[in-house]
Structure 1
Amino acid sequence: MEKQNLDKVLSGERLSIDEEMVPGTIHLIDLEGVLNVKKDSGSQSNIILQPQPSSNPNDPLRWPKSKKIAQFSLLWFWAFMQAVTVNWSGPIYTLWTEEFNCTFMQLNISAAICFIFLGIGSVFLQPTAMKFGRRFVYLASTFFAMISNIIGAQGNTVEVLYVVNFLSGFAAAPGDTLVEISTTDVFYQHERASYLSWFVMALYAGSDLGPVACGYIVETMSWRWCYYFQVIILGAIFIAQLFYMEDTTFERRETEELEDTIMQQIKSRETILSAVQSGQLSQERVNSDDKLNTIVSVNNSINTDDDSIDHSIPMRTYWQRMRLVESEFNDSRSWLTIFYRPFFLFTIPAVMWGGLVYGSQMMWLSLLGTTQSEIFSVAPYNFTTPQVGLTNISALVGSLIGMVYGGPFVDWVTIKLSERNNGIMEPEFRLWTMIVPTILNAAGLLAYGLGVAYEAHWFISAGLGQALLGFSMASSGTICLTYSVDSYPKLASEGLVLMLLLRNLIGCGFTFAIQPWLDKSGLKLTTWLMFMLSIVINGSFVIMIKWGKDFRRATKDRYYKYSDPMFGELFKK
């Protein structure tokens, strides 16, 4: 076999790769610096770029870092404002029950409608973005968010809030799914958690700061101005998107799988070195043969890949980059095919687990949003509307720390564990970091619920409890999203849609259930039940660490079948 492999290497034939390829298991680090693939050009120059940038100079992966950050910042602020739009109203629930002559349960139904259409919107808008471009969907979503706020500012009944939350939820849906895809469009795998954590942070920062601003606006002006200010800010964002935001849509047409290419190079090098040691091949011949010498020697020129750019392909003009509908790099499949493909993934454990864990974070976010006015505006706290809003500051502080933990720290841990694993990354490496969020989530629920039930100092609930919940929501959301995308990279878009649909269905169900649950069980028992629920759901990461790779191996055939772009296509050309 070794002689056959040597003959193939010398003749330039491809070797047969008998090593099992498991979805998500990749070579992330070139420990010896010998692989002829594109790598990070910065301080971490041994990290293999996943995915590899194409030769097209218009490839978003080739954007300068400054441009990536600038476009990313605009998208982050858009996602932040969309989170504000759907989560700002918690502090004025008591005011609305009086002005609209409605109950807290009716207001919770309004919030649940928002969750429903966040999920429905992700299912409908994601294929629209793949077919017509990300830019088109972002602009349309901003426009409908403005319309929803204009309607809300004129509302006089709780039924108007139902309409507003239907429109707001649908418009904000791309903030839950499409921004993650836009992130993977321009950033590499070893950067993914760091930048995804920023978008998860946008969700929680908007959810935390929106109520704070709401409290002060209501005190100095009126609750209607909460809507007007959002219209003004969203209008400015719309103009910036219209003239500055570029589309990151890009269809990659690799002729060869990167992991297979890496395995070919590793096995070819091992074959030559083994032949030299056994005397089948002389070191002099290796040194004199450029091809053999390239295979076994350290390649110091691969950190920069300017030579791989096809300069015959023209750079797009400004107006080509600013067109409303993407027609060059858009998905060639039918809209219907893209629409229903996520539902094939109900049998993929990593996706279902990610949706469950991320959905549980929406339960705690809904808990804070729907109960804070009811809890803190009455005895023994008797907070004013601005003070109720200020309780969200501690959740924001926790979210900021959780963003750093769930992003840069998780990326760092993953790289270090990959180095110890001969440069091979397993997606499960990320899951070891779930230990801390699992513990702090449970502790935060106890502090928030029992602190109020026992009439402890407000800091126990509003300060410590919300900070711990903010940390766990921001960090665990990033971890489970990144784990799922890493496990099945070719199904990233479909997986995110399904996870976010599951997340919002869970959040919707919890929002409907929380008030009857509190009324029937009381705050103490409800808190202990939620504590146990969080331990079970978040603690399930242990199952994925233990059997996650087995699940990926068992679903390998389904993964390759579903990742075929034309799988399920009904209207073939």
Structure 2
Amino acid sequence: MPLGILEQYGMEYIPGTVPLQDSGSAPIPDQHTSNPSLLKHDNSGKFVLVPQPSDDPNDPLNWPRWRKEMFIVSAIWGVTCVGAIGPLLAPAYVQLAETWNVSLQQFSSGTNGALIVCLAAATLVGNLLAVQFGKRPVYLTAAIGLVATSFWGSASTSWTSFVASRAFAGISMAPAESLIPASIADIWYVHERGTRTALFNLAFMAGVSIGPLIAGQLIQRYDWRICSYAMSAALVINLFLTFFFMPETAYQRVGTEAHRNLANQEKGADLEERIEDNTQTMHHDQGSPQPPTIARRPFRTELAFYSGYFHPISFWKTLLSPFKLFRSPIVLWASVVYMTAIVCIVILTIGASQIFSSQPYNFGVSAVGNTFLSAFIASIMGTVAASPLVDGVSRFMARKNGGLFEPEFRLPAVMCYLLFTATGFFSAGQSLGLGMPWQIPVILSFSFVNFGVVIAATVAITYTVDCHHEHAAEAVSVMVFLKNMFGFGTTYYLNDWITNSGVRNVFFTLGGITAAITLSAIPM
């Protein structure tokens, strides 16, 4: 096996290990499907479609290309908005803390802490509802909640009311963070997920970066309420896109079981005859595809709030399902990577006003907001690099592995986390500690941090979804839950940590943690 991946002989079907490419260069091991040509392929005939789509035109895997892409466009807009909500007022933390007559640490923990802890709790509840009743009603309810809480926060006249609005905003933000990766797995194949997951991560990072950038200008020229109302307008657009272009993606599928049965049947001598007689629906003749036997649902019926989808799993089993995934080393490792990667960006956001509003920089609100521009550009570059690094390397290694894809083929790309993010933190700590020109930490160091974070987050999510596709929503909800709980704790000590230990020691610590987590990919 490549990369030193150990063989597993105790299981007939290994989740995530699938034939991805036809290859005559090497045989596919006996315990896997030895004849992938009998499975459905993409239009090029090069990649086996994993998971195998049904012949139902309503199967999300069979959606027209424009429909899939519009879902992604709508999701990207929503995730960008959600990413912007948390750090929206970050450039003016110092000034707003004085306006509300609270300490900087209290303002940070009240503004972000209440939001993040409610976001963490709502992640598990949203997953419960999505697994049992489908994702669309959860998406729509959350979109409505985001609009309502944004207008509420914009009009708040007391500190208590403002914090309460942030708490309820956190509840409404949860589906965008935890369910979109699962929806990507619902409508895209394994060899296509890396790019879309990278776009999801870019959207979140873009919101974190662009939100404060725009907010800094609006707050400087007008005030924070105008900025907040502008955010409300963006969320109204999100509600529109969610309603029209994000139909239900949950689908009762038997393709995974069929694929598993096909893999297990190989040991019989009459495999070809059984496939011809019993699995004609799985055979794909690219010259004459089988006509669908089920009518496509009209577009207007897909605009319904609830599609009628229902998973018969018990309420308590669904509620406890994510907690069972805590036992998975894959989910725990990916959660640590994702958690630290995203929280690194949160730390930069929360600390920006404190760092650059004081000596020796003395930035105003708009100038602090402008420091997020380089992070946004780096996030775009990271997304562009994610496709060849995450999907491209996986395809290359699958080809070298006789066409057999292993989820661990995603892991080499995580080295970017060490090469860029750790290096960025070390250089930021050194340059800020010495009071060097702002161009060094802002343009160089923060760009490195964001570039590596996009790659690491993409690896963590795609690796988890590949290994736990049948429980993708639960697995991602665990990752988001742990990330948010860690972020919640961070809001309660970060500003005081910077004050007491100095920005150099803080960033050096973060760089060391990043390096250690990257190296843990080797035993994985």
Name the counterpart of 1:534: 514
Name the counterpart of 2:37: 35
Name the counterpart of 2:301: 320
Q: Secondary structure at the match of 1:325?
A: coil
For residues 546-566 of structure 1, what are the alpha-carbon distances to aligned partners after superposition, in whole Å with 9 as ceiling and x for unaligned?
Answer: xxxxxxxxxxxxxxxxxxxxx
Residue 502 of structure 1, CA deviation: 1.0
For residues 465-508 of structure 1, what are the alpha-carbon distances to aligned partners after superposition, in whole Å with 9 as ceiling and x for unaligned?
Answer: 11011111111001011111112222212111111111111111
Residues 453 and 302 (structure 1), Cα distance of their counterparts in 2 relative to 1, 3 Å cut: same
Name the counterpart of 1:160: 161
* Residue number among 259, 263, 284 corresponding to 1:302 in the alignment: 284
For residues 259-308 of structure 1, what are the alpha-carbon distances to aligned partners after superposition, in whole Å with 9 as ceiling and x for unaligned?
Answer: 4414645x66xx699xxxxxxxxxxxxxxxx959989xxxxx83639744
Q: How does 1:305-454 map to 2 (within 5 A)?
A: 307-311=289-293, 313-327=294-308, 329-454=309-434
Instruction: State how far apart, in whole Å, the 1-side matches of 2:66 and 2:147 are.
Output: 30
Residues 540 and 309 (structure 1), Cα distance of their counterparts in 2 relative to 1, 3 Å cut: farther
Residue 100 of structure 1, CA deviation: 0.6
Partner amino acid, structure 1, of 2:286:
T
Name the counterpart of 1:135: 136
Q: Secondary structure at the match of 1:429?
A: helix
Q: Does the CA contact (< 8 Å) of 1:29 and 1:424 recur in 2?
A: yes
Instruction: State how far apart, in whole Å, the 2-side matches of 1:194 and 1:48 are.
Output: 17
Q: How does 1:41-440 map to 2 (within 5 A)?
A: 41-42=43-44, 45-110=45-110, 111-254=112-255, 256-262=257-263, 264=265, 302=284, 304=286, 307-311=289-293, 313-327=294-308, 329-440=309-420
Residue 399 of structure 1, CA deviation: 1.0
Instruction: State how far apart, in whole Å, the 2-side matches of 1:470 and 1:541 are.
Output: 20
Instruction: State how far apart, in whole Å, the 1-side matches of 2:147 and 2:262 are.
Output: 49
Instruction: State how far apart, in whole Å, the 2-side matches of 1:243 and 1:485 are.
Output: 27
Determine whether 1:25 maps to 2:17: yes
Instruction: State how far apart, in whole Å, the 2-side matches of 1:179 and 1:337 are.
Output: 22
Q: Secondary structure at the match of 1:150?
A: helix
Partner amino acid, structure 1, of 2:37:
L
Residues 255 and 214 (structure 1), Cα distance of their counterparts in 2 relative to 1, 3 Å cut: closer
Residues 526 and 177 (structure 1), Cα distance of their counterparts in 2 relative to 1, 3 Å cut: same
Q: Secondary structure at the match of 1:162?
A: helix
Q: Secondary structure at the match of 1:176?
A: helix
Instruction: State how far apart, in whole Å, the 2-side matches of 1:453 and 1:255 are.
Output: 54
**What is the TM-score of this pair, normalised by structure 2?**
0.90
Give 5+ residue unaligned stretches, structure 1.
1-16, 274-289, 296-300, 545-573
Partner amino acid, structure 2, of 1:90:
A
Moved more, 509-518 or 205-214: 509-518
For residues 3-44 of structure 1, what are the alpha-carbon distances to aligned partners after superposition, in whole Å with 9 as ceiling and x for unaligned?
Answer: xxxxxxxxxxxxxx99743332222112148621101113xx
Q: Does the CA contact (< 8 Å) of 1:196 and 1:407 recur in 2?
A: no
Q: Does the CA contact (< 8 Å) of 1:41 and 1:303 recur in 2?
A: no
Residues 255 and 157 (structure 1), Cα distance of their counterparts in 2 relative to 1, 3 Å cut: closer
Residue 375 of structure 1, CA deviation: 1.0
Instruction: State how far apart, in whole Å, the 2-side matches of 1:349 and 1:308 are.
Output: 41
Instruction: State how far apart, in whole Å, the 2-side matches of 1:447 and 1:72 are.
Output: 35
Q: How does 1:451-490 map to 2 (within 5 A)?
A: 451-490=431-470
Q: Secondary structure at the match of 1:543?
A: coil
For residues 100-147 of structure 1, what are the alpha-carbon distances to aligned partners after superposition, in whole Å with 9 as ceiling and x for unaligned?
Answer: 111111122121222212211110112212233322111111111112
Partner amino acid, structure 2, of 1:172:
M
Residues 254 and 52 (structure 1), Cα distance of their counterparts in 2 relative to 1, 3 Å cut: closer
Partner amino acid, structure 2, of 1:53:
P
Q: Does the CA contact (< 8 Å) of 2:93 and 2:108 recur in 1?
A: no
Q: Does the CA contact (< 8 Å) of 2:143 and 2:242 recur in 1?
A: no
Name the counterpart of 1:8: none
Instruction: State how far apart, in whole Å, the 1-side matches of 2:210 and 2:104 are.
Output: 22
Q: Does the CA contact (< 8 Å) of 1:119 and 1:505 recur in 2?
A: yes
Q: Secondary structure at the match of 2:305?
A: coil
Instruction: State how far apart, in whole Å, the 1-side matches of 2:219 and 2:10 are.
Output: 67
Name the counterpart of 1:491: 471
Q: Secondary structure at the match of 1:541?
A: coil
Residue 447 of structure 1, CA deviation: 2.3
Q: Secondary structure at the match of 2:522?
A: helix
Instruction: State how far apart, in whole Å, the 1-side matches of 2:245 and 2:284 are.
Output: 33
Q: Does the CA contact (< 8 Å) of 2:122 and 2:171 recur in 1?
A: yes
**What is the TM-score of this pair, normalised by structure 1?**
0.82
Instruction: State how far apart, in whole Å, the 2-side matches of 1:306 and 1:63 are.
Output: 19
Instruction: State how far apart, in whole Å, the 1-side matches of 2:133 and 2:11 are.
Output: 40
Residue 408 of structure 1, CA deviation: 4.0
Q: Does the CA contact (< 8 Å) of 1:83 and 1:204 recur in 2?
A: yes
Q: Secondary structure at the match of 1:515?
A: helix
Partner amino acid, structure 2, of 1:320:
T
Q: Does the CA contact (< 8 Å) of 2:430 and 2:504 recur in 1?
A: yes
Name the counterpart of 2:4: none
Partner amino acid, structure 2, of 1:206:
G
Residue 49 of structure 1, CA deviation: 0.4
Q: Does the CA contact (< 8 Å) of 1:363 and 1:511 recur in 2?
A: no
Residues 305 and 68 (structure 1), Cα distance of their counterparts in 2 relative to 1, 3 Å cut: farther
Q: Secondary structure at the match of 1:35?
A: helix
Moved more, 157-166 or 365-374: 157-166
Instruction: State how far apart, in whole Å, the 1-side matches of 2:311 and 2:374 are.
Output: 43
Q: Does the CA contact (< 8 Å) of 1:37 and 1:48 recur in 2?
A: yes
User: Over aligned residue pairs, what C-alpha RMSD do you find?
Assistant: 2.4
Q: Secondary structure at the match of 2:444?
A: helix
Q: Does the CA contact (< 8 Å) of 2:394 and 2:405 recur in 1?
A: yes
Residue 224 of structure 1, CA deviation: 0.1
Moved more, 225-234 or 17-26: 17-26
Identity rate, percent:
27
Residues 245 and 346 (structure 1), Cα distance of their counterparts in 2 relative to 1, 3 Å cut: closer
